Amino acid sequence: MTQKELRNQQLLQEANERTAQFFTRRHFLKESAMGFGALALGSLIGGCGFDTAGSVSTFDPAHPLAPKLPMFPGKAKSVIYLHMAGAPSQLELFDFKPDLMKLNGQDCPQSLLEGKRFAFIRGVPKMLGPQASFKQYGQSRAWISELLPHFSTIVDEVSFLKAVTTDQFNHAPAQLLMHSGSPRLGRPSLGSWVTYGLGSENQNLPGFVVLTSGGKFPDAGKSVWGSGFLPSVYQGVQCRSEGDPVLFIKDPQGMDRDLRKASIDAINAVNEQEYSEYHDPEILSRISQYEMAYRMQISVPGVMNINDEPDYIHEMYGTEPNKASLANNILLARKLVEKGVRFVQLFDWGWDSHGSDANLAIDIGFINKCRQVDKPMTALILDLKQRGLLEDTLVVWGGEFGRTPMQENREGKQNPFKGRDHHVDAFTIWMAGGGIKKGFCHGETDEIGYSAISGKVTPYDIQATILNQLGFDHEKFTYQFQGRPYRLTDVHGKLIDEIIA
Amino acid sequence: MLPFLLHKKWWVLALLMGMAVLFFIFSARNQPVDFNAEVKPIFNKKCITCHGGVRRKSGFSLLFRAEALGQTESGKPAIVPGHPEKSEMMRRIGLQDPEERMPYKHEPLTKEEISILKRWIKEGAKWGDHWAYLPVKPTEPPKPKPIFFGLITPKKPAWIKNDVDYFIWDKLQQEKIQPSEPADKATLLRRVSLDITGMPPEENIANAFLTDGSDQAYEKLVDALLSSPHYGERWAAMWMDIARYADTKGYERDGDRSIWRYRDWLIQAFNEDRGYDRFLIDQLAGDLLPDPSDDQFIATAFHRNTMTNDEGGTENEEFRTAAVLDRVNATWEGLMGTTFSCVQCHSHPYDPFTHDEYYKFMAFFNDTRDEDSYADYPLLRHYSTQDSLSLNHVVSWIGKHGSKDQAKEVALFLKTWQPAINSLDADQFRNSELADTKWLIFRNHAVARLKHVDLDQKNRLIFRYAGFVKGGDWIIHLDKPDGLILNRIRLDTTKDYNWVIRQTDIQPAVGIHDLYFTYENPHLKKPDESGCQFDWFYFTRSLEGKREPGYDSIQKTYWRLLTAEVPTTPIMMDNPADMHRSSHVFERGNWLVQGKEVKPDVPHSLLPLPPKAPRNRLGLALWMTSKQNPLIARTLVNRLWEQLFGSGLVETLEDFGTQGAAPTHPELLDWLAWQFMNEDQWSIKKLLKEMLMSATYRQDSKVRADLLEKDPFNKSYARGPRVRLSAEQIRDQSLMVSGLLSERMYGPSVMPYQPKGIWLSPWNGEDWKMSAQENQYRRAVYTYWKRTAPYPSMITFDGVAREVCTARRIRTNTPLQALVTLNDSTYLNAARGFAFDMQKAAPNDLAKQISNGYKKMMYKTISPEKLLILEKLYKEAYDRFEKEKDKTCEIIGEMNQYNNPGTAALVVVANAMLNLDEWITKN
C-alpha cells in the first residue's frame, strides 16, 4: 500500500469514525470532560437535507445526567408541566363566549359539522352554553370563570394561549403529540429531550420526574414520558405517592440505612479491588453510580415527603399528607424543582367531560376537578414567586385538546349528563414564569369558541417555545436515529414570540 | 565508510535505491483519486445537503453518476469527465464572490479538496460504489507470505489460533500494539457460557472444562454450550429486539396478543441451527412456500409483530399502512444494516436509494391480508393432534371427490379462516356503521355495501356475527341496495351476544360485484339501537362430494373444526388475486397522497432479483439470501461479533451506509461473511464457533496501561471483551446461581413479580397477574412484554419497548440499575437462595461459605482482600441482627430454619455479591 493510499484510508477512516462516534456512546466517555466536544461535529452529520450544524449531543453514559449548557442562555432552568389528561373544557374556564349561551339548546348549524370528524358526536347535536359564569380579573382584565376563584387572583402572572389547535381527536395520540411531537409511539418525550440536552442540577434525584393523579395513567400510558430512541436513562422516572416513590428505592425490609451503607461500601470496595486488577474505567463509573443510588435513596423519599412542610403551605396548596392527590403532586413539583430537578411532568386523570356519567358531567364532576386543581395550581405560582423560583421555572398548564361548544350526543342520542365531545380546533393553554410575559393573552377564537381565528398555535409551537425558554433552538436540537437527525418538533413548529417577555 | 562509497558496487546499489524511491513517489502521485475515500466524503460533507437525494438545487445532484453528469437547469454541465476546465462545478467552487461561490453561503472548499476534485474530473470522474453495496468477495487471511522465492515460510506467530486472528494480528502489527494473553480458564468459562447460552454453565459442563487439562478442553466446552437448549433461548432474546416481539398490540389500548409461538419457533430454529438463509426465508415468506407447514406459518409472525391500533375512531387503513412501512424499515435496518426510513419521504440523501425504490420495496409487503383488524387476522388456528388428523381426513376427502385446489382451499380456510373479507371493509353506511371502527353493525333499516366481491363459482356464504336482538332480516342484494336478492337470512340473538359462525346458500352469480346489505328488524324500537354485528364474510362453494357416502360426517367434522375455539397466532398471508391491493408512491411520505402505481422491486443499485424469482415476498427472500446480496451476511456477521465483543466491526449495526461507521477490519468482515455463506452453509453455530475459537476472543480483558492510552475502546481487539451484561443475562444468572431459575422452556409468556401500579391503562381491563410457582423464575426471554409498560427492571437495564425494530441496544450506567439489583424482590429472593446454599455447603465456616459462593459465581478463588471486605460486611450485619432479632425474619423473608442472625447476615453478603461489578459484567 502506498503512502498516499494509506493516508487516504486513514482520512476516510477518521472522517467516518468521527461521524460514527457522534452517535455512539463510547466516544462520549472520552469526551465527557469537554461536555461540548461533540458540538463541532454536528456539521458533519447533516442528514435528510436539514442543516444540523450546532446540534447538541452530549451523551456521556458515565454521567448521562451531568448538567450541561444549552445552545444559548435560556430564561428557564426547569419546567413544571401540569397536564390535565382527558382535556378540560376551555369554555367553562378561560374562553368566555356569551354568544354561545344564546344558542344554548339549539341544533348545531350544519355548517359547523361539514367536513368535521368527532370522536363521539353523531348526527346533529345541540349547542351547549357555558356552564359557568365569567368575570374579568387583574390588570390584564382576563376572563376567568367562577370555577377558578383562586386562580383568578393571579391572572397577571400568566400568558394565555387561547387558540391552540391540534390534529388528533383521541386522547392517546393527542397526548403523545403534545409531549413527543408525534401521535405515534416511539418518539422521546419533551422531558426526555430536555434532560438529554441539559442534564440535571441534582445528581441525587432523577432529572425528569413524572407524577400522576386521578387514579389512572394518561391514556397514552408510559410512552408519554418515554425516552423513545434517546438512551433510556432520559425517560421520565415515575415518582409514586403510594408504594416506593421510585421503583426499588426502598431497601428490603430488615436492611436499615446503616447496613445498606455498609453493603454499598463493601460492593464498592470489592469493585475497587476489581479496578486495580482490570483498570477498566467503567468500573469507576459503576462505583459512582452505586454511591449515587445510595444518596438517591435518601433524597428521593426526603423530597417526596410533604409532611414536614409548614402548615401555611398545606393551607395554601390544600394538601393532605399521605393521600394521593393532585394537590400533593403540585406541591411535590415545587419541592422537586427547588432541589434542581429539571423537568417535572404531572398528569391528572379525569377531565374527559363527555357527560356519560356524573363524574364526567360538565356541571358535576368537572366542577370537582376544578376544585381539586384551582387552589394548588394558584399556590404553585405564588409559592414559586415568593421563593424567587418563578423567574426560572416555566409552568405550563393544559390538556391534549379542547371540548366542543356542542353538547355530546353519543351515537346520535343525548348523553345522560351534560358534556362536551373532544375538540381539536380551539382550546386554551396557559404558561407562566420562565421568561413568559405576565398578564398576557394570545390568540382568539370565534364567537362560540369553535375555531381559532387569530394567534393560532399548535403543539409544535408550544414545544418550540418551551425549548426556546430553556435555551434551545428547536430546529437545531436533534438526535441521530434511523439514518436521520430527529427533532422534537419534527419538521414543524414556530416560536410563539408574542408571549415571550 | 568512505571506501564503501568509492566502491562501484555500492554506487549501483545507491542508484537502484534512489530509482526505487523516485518510482515510489512517482507512482504515488499517479495513483488515481479514490472516489469513496476522497471524493464522496467531500460531497457528503459540503455539497449533498443541497445537491443530493432531498434537494436538487438547480437540477444538480451528486447522488448518482448519471445525475451528476447530467443536464442542469443552467444548461452548463456541472461535471465534464476529463475536463475540469469545462466543468461548471469547478468554476463555481473556485470563485471569490460569495454570492456565486459554492458551497453557497458556506465556507469555501479547501485547496486540497479542490485539487482532489480537479484531479478526479481530469481522471474521468469515475464513480465508486460504497463497500457495503458490493458483493462479498473471497479474501485470504493475511498470513505471513513466504519469502526468498517461496523457499522459507515464516513461522506462524504463537499467539494466533485460527484464521480470524491473522486479520487482528495484522492490524495490531501495523499499530504496534501487542495482543493480550489468554484469559484464565475460570474467566473464559464464564465469558463463553454467558455469550453462548446467556447464563452461567451447568455444573457438569463447568466441571468437565475446569478439570480437563487437554488442548481440546476449550473446544469441547464451546461445543457443549452450542448444543445446550439454552443456546436457542439466548439468541432468540437477541432476535426479538429485531423482530420487535411483544405480547401486546401496542398503541393506546395495547391489548394482549398471543404470538409467543413465534418466540418458541425462534428458540427451536436457533437450537436446530437452521441455516440463516432458511431462517430468513421462513420468516419473510414461509406462507408462500409450497405447502407451508404450521411452523413455516408461525415463522411469518416475524412481520406480524407490528403494532395494531384498537382505539375507536382510528382509521384502519392508516395503521395498516403504518405496519407495512414498519416491515420495510425493520427489514432494512434489522436484516440489511441500512437505514431506509428516510427514503420514505425522499430519496436517500447519501446512499444510492431513490424515493420510488422505497415504495417498490414496500409493494412486496403491501399486498397482504392483514388490515389492522381487532382480531389481528389472519391467524393460524392451532388444532390439537386429534383435530389435525380430522382436518387431514376432511381435506383428503375433498381432494378425492373434488379438485386438488379445492382441497387446498378447504385446508387453508379451516386453518386460518382465510381469505375472508373483514367487515371493516364495508362502506356506504346508512343506519349502520363500523362500531368502534372495527365491526359492521346494523341498526333498523340499515344499508351497507361490501364492494368488489368475486362471486364466480360461489354458492355459499360463511360469516361470523353476533346477534343482539332477535328477529332481524338480513338481505343481500346484488349491485344496488334494491338489487337482485341473493339471499335473505334471519339473524337472531346469539348466546350471550357472542360471536357465532353461520353459513347460508346464496344465489350463484357470475363475476365481481358490489354487494348491498339491508337489515330490517321490527324488534328494534329505538333508532340508535343496533341489532347485530359482523366480523367477516367468506364466499365459497358448498363442499364437494355431496352424493358420496360419508358426506354428512365430513360436513360435520368440517363444521366442528371451523367453529372450534382454538389458540391462534397472527401470520402473514398474501391477498388472493381478487383482493389484490395495488401499491403507490406516497408523495413526501404521506400515505394520503398517493402518487404513481409501483410494482414490487428491489433497489437498482444492489443486485437484481434472481431470475425466475417470483415478484412477491418469496422472491424478495430469495434475493435477500442470495450469496450475491452484499448486506445480509455482513449484517449478521457484524451483529454476532457485536454480541461477543461488545461492539461491531462496523460500530453502527443499523447503518452500513456512507454515513455509518467504517469497518475497523473490512477484510475480516468479508472473510467471515464469505465463510458463513459458502463454507459454513449459513450455519450460525459454525460462524459463532469460528469467532469463539479465535485467540482474539480468548484474550484477557484487563485494560493495560498502553491500551488505555492507544486504544481505549478496544477497536483493535488487543484485549478480550469487557461489557455489562444485558438485562436478560443479569436476571437469568442471578436466578441461576441462587438455584431459583426454572429451566422450563417454551409456552405462553409469564408474569413474574413486579411492583403494583405498573399497569394502569385507562381503557383496558387487563392486569398483571403474577404467575404461580416456577413461572416466577423462568428465563427473562419468557417474560410478558407489554409495549406501553414493559417489565421495569428490563427497561432499566436498557431493554427496549419493542415498538419498532431495534438494531442495537445502547448500554447505559445509571443509579436506577443499582437500585434494581439491590432492592427488587426478585434479586432479594435470589440473594436469599444463594445465601442458604452457601450456608448449607459449609455450616459454621464463614470464610468457606463466602469463598464457595464466590467460586460458584466466578469459578475462581476469591482474593484474600475481597474475602476480607465481605467478611467485614458479614460481621457488621451479624452484630446488627444479633441486636435486633426481629429484623432477621424480615431479611430472610419467612419464618423458617434460616431465621437466625448468621443467615440473615449472609443474605446481606449475598445481596452485595450479586451486585459486584465483576458479576454484572462479562469479564
Q: Are residues A129 and A230 in the same domain?
A: yes
**Residue A352 sits in a domain of what CATH number?**
3.40.720.10
Q: What confidence score (pLDDT) does residue B639 get?
A: 98
Domain ranges of chain B: 1-29, 35-128, 275-379+579-624, 397-566, 823-922
pLDDT of A21 over the 50 cut: no
- Mean pLDDT of the residues in chain B: 91
Q: Is B874 at the interface with chain A, CB within 8 A?
A: no
What is the share, in percent, of chain B residues with pLDDT greater than 70?
Answer: 95
Surface of B (748-787) touching A: CB under 8 A: 755-757, 760-763, 787
Compare B563 and A37 and report the one with higher pLDDT. Answer: B563
pLDDT of A169 over the 70 cut: yes
Out of B346, B703, B891, name the one closest to residue A252 (CB).
B891
pLDDT of A2 over the 70 cut: no
Helix or strand (DSSP H, E) at B837: helix B825-841
Q: Are residues A144 and A193 in the same domain?
A: yes
pLDDT of A58 over the 70 cut: no
Surface of B (806-865) touching A: CB under 8 A: 810-820, 822-825, 828, 863, 865
CB A274 within 8 A of CB B858: no
Question: Is A248 within 8 Å of B755 when comparing Cβ atoms?
Answer: yes
Out of A20, A222, A263, name the one closest to residue B912 (CB).
A263
pLDDT of A19 over the 70 cut: no
- Residue A148 lies inside a defined structural domain of this protein: yes
Disruptive mutation site among A43, A235, A259, A276 for chain B (greatest number of B CBs within 10 Å):
A259
Chain A residues touching residue B909 (CB < 8 angstroms) = 266
CB A349 within 8 A of CB A215: yes
β-pair type (A393-398, A78-85): parallel
Out of B345, B818, B869, name the one closest to residue A289 (CB).
B818
Q: What confidence score (pLDDT) does residue B344 get?
A: 75
pLDDT tens by residue, B156-173: 899 999 999 999 999 999
Q: What confidence score (pLDDT) does residue A429 get?
A: 98
State how many domains chain A has: 2
- Residue A251 lies inside a defined structural domain of this protein: no
Q: Are residues A286 and A183 in the same domain?
A: no
Helix or strand (DSSP H, E) at B282: helix B276-285
Q: Are residues A180 and A277 in the same domain?
A: no
Q: Is A219 at the interface with chain B, CB within 8 A?
A: yes
Cβ neighbours of residue B882 closer than 8 Å, sequence gap 6 or more: B901
Question: Is A49 within 8 Å of B349 when comparing Cβ atoms?
Answer: yes
Q: What confidence score (pLDDT) does residue A57 get?
A: 44
Question: Is A47 within 8 Å of B342 when comparing Cβ atoms?
Answer: yes
Q: Which three cell numbers stand for residue A356?
A: 356519560
Strand partners for A81? A345, A396
Strand partners for B244? none
pLDDT tens by residue, B827-880: 999 999 999 999 999 988 999 999 999 999 999 999 999 999 999 999 999 999
Q: Which three cell numbers stand for residue A31?
A: 469526551
Closest CA to A219 of B64, B764, B228: B764
The region of weakest confidence among A38-42, A422-426, B535-539 is A38-42
Q: Is the dihedral of CA B75, B80, B86, B90 positive or negative?
A: positive
Q: How far B508 CA sits from the closest chain A CA (Å)?
A: 37
Q: Are residues A202 and A267 in the same domain?
A: no
Question: Is B657 within 8 Å of A483 when comparing Cβ atoms?
Answer: yes
- How far apart CA A420 and CA B872 sit, in angstroms, is 67
Q: Is A410 at the interface with chain B, CB within 8 A?
A: no
Helix or strand (DSSP H, E) at B318: helix B316-330
CATH for B397-566 (3.40.640.10, 1.10.3720.10, 1.20.1260.10, 2.60.120.260): 2.60.120.260
Entry field: residues in chain A: 501
Helix or strand (DSSP H, E) at A195: helix A190-198
Q: Percentages helix, strand, coil for chain A, rounded to the nearest 5? A: 40, 15, 45
Q: Are residues A439 and A478 in the same domain?
A: yes
Chain B residues touching residue A226 (CB < 8 angstroms) = 801
Over residues A391-417, mean pLDDT: 90
Q: Is A64 at the interface with chain B, CB within 8 A?
A: yes
- Residue A26 lies inside a defined structural domain of this protein: no
CA distances from B640 to B17, B137, B364, B397, B637 (A): 48, 20, 28, 48, 5
Question: Is B712 within 8 Å of A30 when comparing Cβ atoms?
Answer: yes
Closest CA to B504 of B465, B546, B451: B465
- Residue A61 lies inside a defined structural domain of this protein: no
**Model confidence, pTM:** 0.81
β-pair type (B460-467, B583-586): unpaired
Q: Are residues A273 and A410 in the same domain?
A: no
Q: Are residues A404 and A469 in the same domain?
A: yes
Q: Are residues A163 and A274 in the same domain?
A: no
Q: How far B414 CA sits from the closest chain A CA (Å)?
A: 35
Over residues A260-273, mean pLDDT: 97
Q: What confidence score (pLDDT) does residue B8 get?
A: 65
Low-confidence ranges of chain B (pLDDT < 50): 1
Out of A4, A235, A273, name the one closest to residue B866 (CB).
A273
- A205: left (phi > 0), else alpha (psi -120 to 50), else beta? beta
Q: What confidence score (pLDDT) does residue A60 get?
A: 66
Question: Is A289 within 8 Å of B817 when comparing Cβ atoms?
Answer: yes
Question: Is B873 within 8 Å of A12 when comparing Cβ atoms?
Answer: no
Cβ neighbours of residue B552 closer than 8 Å, sequence gap 6 or more: none
Q: Is B312 at the interface with chain A, CB within 8 A?
A: yes
- Residue A21 lies inside a defined structural domain of this protein: no
Q: What confidence score (pLDDT) does residue A231 get?
A: 73
Q: Are residues A415 and A310 in the same domain?
A: yes
ipTM of the complex: 0.88
Residue bearing cell 387561547? A162
Q: Which three cell numbers stand for residue B406?
A: 379445492
Q: What confidence score (pLDDT) does residue A410 get?
A: 76
pLDDT of A33 over the 70 cut: no
Chain A residues touching residue B872 (CB < 8 angstroms) = 266
Q: Is A67 at the interface with chain B, CB within 8 A?
A: no
Q: Is B27 at the interface with chain A, CB within 8 A?
A: yes
Q: Are residues A333 and A453 in the same domain?
A: yes
Q: What confidence score (pLDDT) does residue B125 get?
A: 87
The number of angstroms, rounded, from the C-alpha of A355 to the middle of its chain's C-alpha atoms is: 28
- Compare all CA atoms of chain A with the CA of B820 and give the residue at the minimum distance: A248
Question: Is A243 within 8 Å of B756 when comparing Cβ atoms?
Answer: yes
Residue A273's domain spans which residues? 257-290
Disruptive mutation site among B325, B530, B917 for chain A (greatest number of A CBs within 10 Å):
B917
Q: Which three cell numbers stand for residue A88?
A: 378540560
Closest CA to A328 of A341, A301, A346: A346
Question: Is B869 within 8 Å of A266 when comparing Cβ atoms?
Answer: yes
- Residue A7 lies inside a defined structural domain of this protein: no
CA atoms within 13 Å, Cβ hemisphere of B338: 27
Q: Work out the pLDDT band at A53, boundaries 50, 70, 90.
A: very low
Out of A217, A264, A411, name the one closest to residue B761 (CB).
A217
Question: Is A172 within 8 Å of B251 when comparing Cβ atoms?
Answer: yes
Q: What confidence score (pLDDT) does residue A62 get?
A: 59
- How far apart CA A390 and CA A383 sit, in angstroms, is 8
- Compare all CA atoms of chain A with the CA of B700 and give the residue at the minimum distance: A278
Q: Is A483 at the interface with chain B, CB within 8 A?
A: yes
Question: Is B346 within 8 Å of A49 when comparing Cβ atoms?
Answer: yes
β-pair type (A78-85, A343-349): parallel
- How far apart CA B114 and CA B275 sit, in angstroms, is 49
Chain A residues touching residue B804 (CB < 8 angstroms) = 186
Chain A residues touching residue B142 (CB < 8 angstroms) = none
- Residue A248 lies inside a defined structural domain of this protein: no
pLDDT of A23 over the 80 cut: no
Q: Collapse the DSSP code of A454 into the 3-class scheme (helix H, G, I; strand E, B; otherwise coil) and give the result.
A: strand
Q: What confidence score (pLDDT) does residue A1 get?
A: 47
Surface of B (540-559) touching A: CB under 8 A: none
- Residue A28 lies inside a defined structural domain of this protein: no
- How far apart CA B698 and CA B164 sit, in angstroms, is 12
Question: Is B811 within 8 Å of A25 when comparing Cβ atoms?
Answer: yes
